[in-house]
Structure 1
Amino acid sequence: MPTAIAVTSADLVLPPNDQQTPPATAVQGPDAQPLEAALAELQTLIDQHGYVIVVYSSAVPLAVERRLHTMRSILESDRIALLRSDLPPLGLAVLVRKLRQLSICDLSPGVVASAGYLLTHYIHAGAVLNSVARLDHVPVSLKSHAKSWMPGSQFGVIANPQPQLVKLGPEAQLAGPEFGTWLLVAKGQLQTDWVTGTLANAWQVQGLRETPLPADSQRWWGTGRLVEFATYLPDTSVLYQLVTSVRRDRCHWCGLELIGEQCVFCSAAPPERENRTAAAGVPVGRHAQESPHRH
């Protein structure tokens, strides 16, 4: 069975790109499901799939993040990975679909989980907003704040991979991917064709799809008058080549394969980095994961 992918909201589960892409499971928050029921469902996923990767936004309410760490702690399972992401909602949904595609490939659970960090760099996620006055996740200058109060102002914003913000006009441009991608668009209450016209042409996207706006997008972007967008690579073989082109290591703590510096399942960093961190008096390794914090 493929590694199970789980999310904290059902609207982060986009339609698959092909018939082979498996679905993802929504883990209910503390306001929607008792802890006992949530534990039973998570244990069933582990029993059925062996390993579970839970992808969640760094902007979720603290109670939701605490619930995830509590369940992992109670189950005492190294088969649960908690993958925390700074992506906006639509970009996060794209990342989840990429991991779902990779979960059926001949990749170990540790590699699939750590691929989440690698593939994040290949997602251009942003939005067109009517105001940046309440935008907290992307740096906003005082000048842009002032322009937010001008009637009819619209702003193009990129949150990932590098923050960008421009006031829309005839010369407005946003730097995009330097490789061929598709564009996913989710329309809120803002009336504009800038994303599907100007931006799509400038980025020379290979295709365009529309999807409903995620429920958390309004809170993440600070306004309901927006059009959210994210680029994606639809071909599973391309994703597979990206991941397999990176050197794999084995976690010195839990033994799982991984790419990158840190194991998502046990949170252990490479020994040399753990030694430096421990010398500075900072908790390291798997037990550090049991104390979630905000950055």
Structure 2
Amino acid sequence: MYALPTAIAVTGPDLVLPSPDRHTPSAAVLQSAVQSPRTYSLDQALTEMHTLVEHHGYVIVLCPSSAPAAVVQRLHAVRSVLESDRIAVVRSDLPPLGLAVLALQLRQLSICDFSPGVLASAARLLSHYIYAGALLGSVTRLDRVPVTLQSHAKSWLPGAQFAVLATPRPELVKVSGGDGTHLPGPGFGTRLLYAPGKLAPGWVTDTLAPAWQAQGVTEARLPAESGRWWATGRLVEFAAAIPDISVLYQLVSSVRRDDCHWCGLELIGDRCAFCAAPLPPPSERPARRTPARGATALPRGAT
């Protein structure tokens, strides 16, 4: 009998997208991040996290960089009190819908044969392949993406709209007519998710999706945090990402793996996601490890 996969936890219910198949587990929504510390005590938060660790062995918490300081402090307090090296708090600069997509990808990969350390550190890698942005009716208060004075001035014009890309490289273009080719898109196969706010989604579905050669277009619920993140409710948030688990598997398994010199977990990249210890300089690392077996390993239970 297989053990439960590593738990992927999120700080809000809006970050949980529907499972694409019966094998992909859902994410755990941390009530300690959703509810106020006044109504959800530290003891309750400790019990919540302890239960997840006991059932899953390891917990990876995706926490947006925009999260209130109280949420971040509570997460680190819980980890400190439990004295557990099996809880990773992974901060992300992705906007809300993009973070929900990243959580879904980690949920898909959690049922493959990746160790918890590799899975947690894969969050940074996968973030570079998520094209997350929004169609905005105003950029006057936007501070998470560089905005020129000219764009600020244009945003006061009636009916002005802007296509903004937050990741992997910030871009901002004024939308005029049906032109969507000026917003740089992915050079690989993706599925486009969009979440309408107080703007019509036509430009995203009819112009951007074809320009980006999206393999599919799916509507999602707009996360509650999106209006605050983009500084306006007049928006349509979107995120294009790799939907195929075999491609995601190959992407992660092709990266060199190392052992963390502090906690001993496997990792990819330059820092352990569980204990935050940096990778030693190349001259001090052991010989290169053999990568995983390519993209042929199916999720447990898949046929």
- Normalized against structure 2, the TM-score is what? 0.88
Tell me if structure 2 keeps the 8 A contact 1:183–1:200: yes
Query: Which residue of structure 2 lines up, in the alignment, with residue 215 of structure 1?
Result: 224
Pairing partner for 1:74 from 67, 81, 88: 81
Query: Which residue of structure 1 lines up, in the alignment, with residue 148 of structure 2?
Result: 141
The one-letter amino acid paired with 1:25 is: A
Shift of 1:169: 1.0
Give the 3-state SS of the residue equivalent to 2:113 in structure 1.
coil
Matched, 1:114 2:117: no
Pairing partner for 2:189 from 180, 199, 203: 180
Matched, 1:83 2:90: yes
Give the 3-state SS of the residue equivalent to 1:166 in structure 2.
strand
Pairing partner for 2:27 from 18, 24, 28: 24
Pairing partner for 1:248 from 257, 272, 276: 257
The one-letter amino acid paired with 1:116 is: A
- The two structures, once aligned, show a CA RMSD in angstroms of 1.3
Give the 3-state SS of the residue equivalent to 2:207 in structure 1.
helix
Pairing partner for 1:55 from 34, 57, 62: 62
Q: Which runs of 5+ in 2 are unaligned?
A: 285-303
Q: Which runs of 5+ in 1 are unaligned?
A: 276-295
Shift of 1:261: 0.4
Tell me if structure 2 keeps the 8 A contact 1:17–1:234: no
* Greater Cα offset, 24-33 or 196-205: 24-33
Give the 3-state SS of the residue equivalent to 1:55 in structure 2.
strand
Output one character per residue of 1:171-227: Cα deviation in whole Å (capped at 9) or x when no partner: 452000000111001000112411001101101111010011000000000000100
Q: Which runs of 4+ in 1 moved over 6 A?
A: none
The one-letter amino acid paired with 1:99 is: L
Matched, 1:266 2:269: no
The one-letter amino acid paired with 2:59 is: V
Matched, 1:94 2:101: yes
Pairing partner for 1:198 from 207, 211, 214: 207
Query: Which residue of structure 1 lines up, in the alignment, with residue 10 of structure 2?
Result: 7
Shift of 1:73: 0.5
Query: Which residue of structure 1 lines up, in the alignment, with residue 295 of structure 2?
Result: none
Give the 3-state SS of the residue equivalent to 1:271 in structure 2.
coil
Shift of 1:272: 3.3
Task: For 1:66 and 1:272, locate their aligned partners in 2 and report how far apart those are by CA, in whole Å.
Answer: 31
Task: For 1:191 and 1:151, locate their aligned partners in 2 and report how far apart those are by CA, in whole Å.
Answer: 16
* Greater Cα offset, 150-159 or 165-174: 165-174
Task: For 2:217 and 2:108, locate their aligned partners in 1 and report how far apart those are by CA, in whole Å.
Answer: 19
Task: For 1:147 and 1:192, locate their aligned partners in 2 and report how far apart those are by CA, in whole Å.
Answer: 21
Task: For 2:42 and 2:234, locate their aligned partners in 1 and report how far apart those are by CA, in whole Å.
Answer: 35
Give the 3-state SS of the residue equivalent to 1:194 in structure 2.
helix
Task: For 1:242 and 1:179, locate their aligned partners in 2 and report how far apart those are by CA, in whole Å.
Answer: 12
Task: For 2:281 and 2:130, locate their aligned partners in 1 and report how far apart those are by CA, in whole Å.
Answer: 30
- Normalized against structure 1, the TM-score is what? 0.91
Task: For 1:80 and 1:122, locate their aligned partners in 2 and report how far apart those are by CA, in whole Å.
Answer: 25
Give the 3-state SS of the residue equivalent to 2:81 in structure 1.
helix
Query: Which residue of structure 2 lines up, in the alignment, with residue 38 of structure 1?
Result: 45
- Within 5 A, what are the aligned runs for 1:138-177? 138-170=145-177, 171-172=179-180, 173-177=182-186
The one-letter amino acid paired with 1:46 is: V
Task: Name the count of aligned residue pairs.
Answer: 274
Give the 3-state SS of the residue equivalent to 1:92 in structure 2.
helix
Query: Which residue of structure 2 lines up, in the alignment, with residue 287 of structure 1?
Result: none
The one-letter amino acid paired with 2:77 is: T
The one-letter amino acid paired with 2:115 is: S
